[in-house]
Amino acid sequence: MKIVVYGLGIIGASICASLKKAGHTVYGKNRSREPLDYALEHNMIDGIVKNYSEAEVVFLALPPAATMKELDTGNFPSGCIVADVCGVKSAIEKCVLKRPRHYVYVGTHPMAGKETSGITSASATLFRGANLVITLNRSTDKRAVSIIEALGRDMGFQRVVECSAAAHDRKIALTSQLAHLVSSAYIRSEEAPSSLGFTGGSFQDMTRVALLDEALWTELFFLNRDELLCETDGLISRLKEYRNALAMGDEDRMEQLLRLGKEAHLDFYQKNG
């Protein structure tokens, strides 16, 4: 099976490295030359391609706008499975479904990454034990999904979750996008620059994902604006409960709110292992 990965950032290069390590033949495609040379030098790919000739599976590891353009204009072989890895799915799916295609589309979202980006942050083990989301629609090809799922297992994903694009975007607004938004706002406290020596694990956990690609995440936020607005409004509403307890000197209410948060955490991890 000839696999082509277009876009050798942290996710694309990790797809290459993990699939090659699993014994697949993987070729890299990228707009600039440096990541391709790096991938060859570090045994992440078997070779470099400029097109998709004879490719059976293509992974598009590009930002959303670039992904949609490639899905519209890419010269994919007939019957080729094309999977994107974007952090939003409804906009991508609409692009694919607006007219008949000669390739087979599967939407995916690897739930893995780091606070750093680029090919030097990629590794063959990035996806080990992580979750892979596959989105389904009325025209999804079951055989193609099975192939992508099998490749996902070869990459190291432990759990594969199937859902609609709309369900994905609703969940990801909470589990990923809101976390990045909060982290960015949290680190901007006027007190933060003078806090050296006062930080520990909680500060590091809260600020880790503030080190993001602002252009990419702005694009992701606005492609999922309605869902992210809903989650942001919900968070603001809940924070006001804590603030009101503080302002009113209501220790009993604060203790109750903190207990509710602890119980929600325990319930989530008991249900989800």
Per-residue confidence (pLDDT) for residue 34, from 0 to 100: 97
User: Does residue 79 carry a pLDDT above 80?
Assistant: yes
Per-residue confidence (pLDDT) for residue 115, from 0 to 100: 80
How far is Cα 145 from Cα 183, in angstroms, rounded to an integer?
A: 34
Instruction: Say if residue 187 is in the same domain as residue 234.
Output: yes
Rg (CA), the chain: 21
Domain boundary among 108, 135, 163: 163
Domain boundary among 138, 163, 188: 163
- pTM comes to 0.94
Instruction: Give the residue numbers spanning the domain of 87.
Output: 2-163
From the list 269, 224, 57, the residue with the least C-alpha distance to 150 is 57
Instruction: Say if residue 75 is in the same domain as residue 157.
Output: yes
Domain boundary among 134, 163, 192: 163
Instruction: Say if residue 180 is in the same domain as residue 197.
Output: yes
At 230, which CATH number?
Answer: 1.10.3660.10
User: Does residue 273 carry a pLDDT above 80?
Assistant: no
pLDDT in tens, 227-247: 999 999 999 999 999 999 999
The number of distinct structural domains making up the chain is 2
Cα–Cα separations (whole angstroms), residue 59 to 27, 28, 52, 269: 10, 10, 11, 32
Cβ–Cβ under 8 Å, residues 38 and 64: no
